Each structure stands twice: as C-alpha cells, then as structure tokens.
Amino acid sequence: MHIDTIAVQALRGHEHGAVVPPIHLASTFELDPATADGTFSYQRGGNPTRSDLEAVLAQLEDAQHAFAYATGMAATAAVFGLVETGSEVILSASVYGGTFRLVDKVFPGRGLTGRFVEQLDTLTDEDFTEDTAMVFVETPANPTLRVTDLRRIIELAHAHGALVVVDNTFMTPVLQRPLDLGADIVVQSATKYLAGHSDLLAGTATTNDDALGAALALSQKTLGGVLSPFDSYRLIQDIKTLPLRIERQQANAIAIAVHLREHEAVANVLTPGWHGEAEAVIHASQASGPGAVVSFELAPDVDRVAFLRALRIPAFAVSLGGVESLICHPATMTHEAMTPQARLDAGISDELLRLSVGIEDIGDLLADLDQALAAAR
C-alpha cells in the first residue's frame, strides 16, 4: 500500500473491531502462574499501545523492527549505546545541537570519539580506521540543509564494517526512505513531523537488521527511556495525517523560498540543493521533495531582532514540524551547545534563521514575512 494509506490503515483489524484502537495504561499485567509468562508483563518491557505504535512505525518505514522512545535524543542515545568503548563515530559538522552536545559532553566519559566532518561526501577510504564503528548522517542537515549522498556513504561505510545511522527527522518516511537505500538504522525526533502539533515529545528508531533490533530491544527494556502509553496513543492518531500535513507544509515552504530569494531584504536562502547542482541532483535522487524547513539570512540593512518581533504568524521558538510555523535563531537556540568555531565549521552563521513552515494560508504567511521585513529595514 501507499504510505498515505498505511498512515491511516496500519492498525486495521484491531481487537474488538475498534476503528481507533484503545489505550492501555496498565503498568503491570497478570501472568500465567504456571509459567510466569504473558505477552506483556511490565510497561517498561512492553505495552500494548506502544506496541501498536511501533507496528505503525515499522509499516511506515517498511522495517522489521521499530522502537518508540520518550524523546528524539533518547532514540539517538540508544543508537550510540550500540557502539563499543574505544570506537569512533563520524558525523557531519552541521548536526542537530542536541546530538552535538551528546557527542561533545558524553562521549569522552564513555571512551568514545566523535569526529565531525565539514561535509560527509568528502569522506574516502583513508578516513576510516579500525576504530570507526558508525557514520551518523543528517540529510538535509540541520539547519544548513546541506545534502549527503546516502548511497555513497552507505557503500563506503559498509566496506569498512561501519554502521550507517540516518536521522530522518526533516524528511520522514513520506519524503525519504534511508532503510530502502541500505542504511542500518533510522532515527527520528517524532516530536517534530510525526506528531506534528508541538504538544508531545517522542523519538523513534527503526532497522531491518535482526541483531541490531535485538540490541535496541534490550537497551530499551534495560535503560527504560520508553514512550508512555498516552503519548503512544496520541502519536498513532497524529501519524494518520502525516502525509497530508507534509504535503501542505512543503508546498508552503517552496512558495516561501521562491519569494524570499526574490526579496531585496534577504541575502541568502537555504533549501536542499542550494549549495550546488551536485547536491540538488543527489537530493532529487534520494528524496521526493525538499521538505518544509527554509533557512535564510537577512540583508545587512535588516535588523534581525526587529524582524523577529514584527512577525505575527511564526512564533519565535525552538523545534519544528508542527502545523504552526516556527522560526528560530540556531546560533543562540537549537545549536547554542556548539562552540563558535564548531558553528563556523558547520556553516551556521550568527545571522542564520531557520523557518519551520506550517499549514497556514500561504498568502497570510507571505504577507506577514513582507511586513516584518519592511518593518525591520
């Protein structure tokens, strides 16, 4: 089935014929006295509602194994937990600030090394050592929207026995399917597009590798960073409108990017492929659209703070992917954990703004951007 249908019908035929599956809040479950066995025993190890969600996630990604976590960073941390002490993880310099913080602050205490590379597509065989255990990819990157060639990186990393993990938060399986391209694990901050309403935290990890699936299941049960039944239930419902929301958000984002590129008060507009034709071709080959995030820099004569204060529709707030438009200043918000040099290496200027485009009327959004730009000059 098409993903639009899967998002709605993934749990069709559930118990009692319920069109909307019930929520199970129990923390513990009655077991067989003779064997102490049961499908579920304790919520940390498994819960019917979380299992329902994980079944939906697996179908969305066409994955064999799916796991739901309390936050996107919990999912990312679980995946990094698969790496043995003494190993190295290669990442793009332009990576989510929370991921940077984890690598920068937590890795040293665990005996791990994180190596940030300005652009992963420059990697060659010489960049891999016997300690390289994983390549962690965001494409498009956050917030620069630089593109990485997934097919090339997967082939290169696998040739050296390294895992490839893709953070697919910006694209979701609606627009990009890294597992189909050979990635070992896909993680997402489900807080963003999967949930889509800026009202819950969640993270996901999916894989087609049975050994990795078993390791993630053990980690999930042991460390306990699981998604609650209530949030699992809500996320199941939110996913039903995921394709529709992304279609509208992406259409709005494309119109805004075109508009801003022609605006004299905007110096630079970043969308997937902005850096050059090669990246545009790569993105088109592995994704079915640019997504709904637009980053941009204002012209020198535009006061950034005045522009942000003048906006009436986008809220000045962290996060992205919700039905409401949000705008943030990565250097002081989402990526404040990075040092100034790290941000420079990642291409994140102090003037860069990241706009997560919502589902509002496009005429209203464009008019609001225009009046705010005029007010700030």
CA-wise closest residue to 190 among 322, 1, 7: 322
Distance, CA of 159 to CA of 154 (rounded, Å): 8
In the sheet with 203-207, reading across from the earlier edge strand, the strands are 65-69, 203-207, 185-189, 163-167, 132-138, 88-92, 113-117
CA-wise closest residue to 46 among 62, 61, 31, 64: 31
Distance, CA of 365 to CA of 235 (rounded, Å): 27
- Tell me phi and psi for residue 289, to 5 degrees: 175, 170
The burial of 264, by beta-carbon neighbours within 10 Å (0-12 exposed, 13-18 middle, 19 or more buried), is given as: exposed
Q: Of the listed 167, 184, 231, 238, which one is catalytic? A: 167
44 is catalytic: yes
Q: Of the listed 50, 177, 192, 245, which one is catalytic? A: 192
CA torsion 280→282→284→288, rounded to 10°?
-130
192 is catalytic: yes
Cβ atoms within 10 Å, residue 11: 18
| 269's tokens | 């507009």
| 228's tokens | 């609650």
Cα–Cα distance list, 306 to 6, 25, 143, 265 (Å): 44, 47, 22, 13
Q: Of the listed 42, 44, 131, 151, which one is catalytic? A: 44
Q: Of the listed 50, 69, 96, 240, which one is catalytic? A: 96
Catalytic residue positions, numbered: 44, 96, 167, 192
